[in-house]
Structure 1
Amino acid sequence: MRSIDVIRLAREQINEITGLPFDTVSRCTKDDDGWIVGIELIEMRRIPNSCDLLGTYELRLDADGNLVSYQRTNRYQRGAVEQK
């Protein structure tokens, strides 16, 4: 399975579960058990859109593209700069 196909399946499945609009894909990695896909979803729209609240979701899919698990790993304001 190609990564673009896995990303498409991940987007469809997380939208069906959460109903949240898609923003971007931040990660797509193949491992021994399948795929890990990181997706940014818009959790709350604000004006201006630079103040939107986004959530980072990590999805694990098996080798066939079926969702095995998902979790929100981060929540942040679109314009925020991450401090490390």
Structure 2
Amino acid sequence: MPPDRDGDEARPRRSQRLSAPRAMRSAAQQLEGLLGRAPESVSAVRPTDDGWEAEVEVLELERIPETTSVMASYRVKLDEDGELMAYERIRRYTRGQIDRRA
């Protein structure tokens, strides 16, 4: 196999797409490794042209009562092998907050 741009051997392509449950676990585990906080849930996962995108909910600041704890939603982008390529915090909110749609 020819070397890639960095001089490393190119990885063989997978013949099957990563499943949604495996993408969810991969997103949560890798984000935990970066943030040092365990995600509480994965609220969305969707396939993209080049992998997966997930939204992961993380407890950022624990408070008493629990409904006032600060949560954050992170958008996590994975490649087709489930490796984290990018992440960003997209929202912060209190645990007891309910989204209101117009």
The normalised TM-score by structure 2 is 0.78
Q: Aligned-pair distance for 1:52?
A: 1.1
**Secondary structure class of the residue paired with 1:81:** coil
Unaligned runs of 5+ in 1: none
Show the 5 A alignment for 1:38-53: 38-53=55-70
Query: What are the Cα deviations for residues 25-81 of structure 1, in whole angstroms up to 9, with x where unaligned?
Result: 111000111100000000011112111100000000000001110000000001112
CA distance in 1, matches of 2:98, 2:23: 29
> 1:63 aligns to what?
80
Equivalences, count: 84
Matched, 1:13 2:18: no
**Secondary structure class of the residue paired with 2:81:** coil
> 1:72 aligns to what?
89
The structure with the largest alpha-carbon Rg is 2
CA distance in 2, matches of 1:29, 1:2: 10
Q: Which has the higher strand share?
A: 1
User: Larger relative CO (CA 8 A, sep 6+): 1 or 2?
Assistant: 1
